[in-house]
Chains A and B, each alone.
Chain A
Amino acid sequence: QVQLVQSGAEVKKPGASVKVSCKASGYTFTAYYMHWVRQAPGQGLEWMGWINPNSGDTNYAQEFQGRVTMTRDTSISTVYMELSRLRSDDTAVYYCARAAQMSSGPVVVYYYGLDVWGQGTTVTVSS
């Protein structure tokens, strides 16, 4: 079955970096884009960006430009999201989510929604 399995919970100090992994199975890894979405405690969903696992192309939300890096390792069907210079307000559950999507540069040609989500990774930033 199609599945996204994320790495375990992390506790980090302010100023540190965190790298969350998302391992895909049950489908052709390079055929779907991967998005990252986070949710602070008791808050709504916040989009962080996407990566095209086939090409490695990325598109980041402006709020995270310069702090976030999304990469992939096609040999193990895994994408990674690294967030640097952590602050207390980065405390959140981080989700990866798959999308049937085609983009030309940052422009979306087609997109069918985030149809499979990982289980979420809790990142706590505290001194």
Chain B
Amino acid sequence: SYELTQPPSVSVSPGQTASITCSGDKLGNKYTYWYQQKPGQSPVLVIYQDTKRPSGIPERFSGSNSGNTATLTISGTQAMDEADYYCQAWDSSTVVFGGGTKLTVL
């Protein structure tokens, strides 16, 4: 089965740029989606189709996807961005999620 691999944790200082990676075989040939989940809350879609931001998502969130790796980038990271982030892709007819990355802003 297809697997998406994320680092368990990433740390960033406020105001700096955070990069969260998601790796999978030929992932660049698929669209990647990113979700933010804060403790006790439902996930929120922050990036769809690799690079697009849904309405209401701040411009500091951006995405890229090439080769075997997709990346979620948060520019000028704020304390409110501290959360778990999950990547997602389709493998044939199946939705696959990455294991999630805990972003700590310190």
Contacts and interface: CB of A to CB of B under 8 A. Distances in A.
A104 to B, nearest CB: 10
Interface residues of B, number: 23
A114 B86 contact: no
A95 B93 contact: no
Interface string B73-106: 0000000000000101010111111111000000
B54 A117 contact: no
Contacts of A114: 33, 35, 43, 45, 88
Given A117-B43, A119-B42, A112 B95 contact: no
Nearest to A6: B42
A109 to B, nearest CB: 11
B54 A115 contact: yes
Given A95-B43, A111-B31, A115-B54, A44 B99 contact: yes
Interface in A89-127: 95, 97, 103, 106-108, 111-115, 117-120
Interface of B: 31, 33, 35, 37, 42-45, 48-49, 54, 86, 88, 90, 92-100
Interface of A: 35, 37, 44-47, 50, 59, 61-62, 95, 97, 103, 106-108, 111-115, 117-120
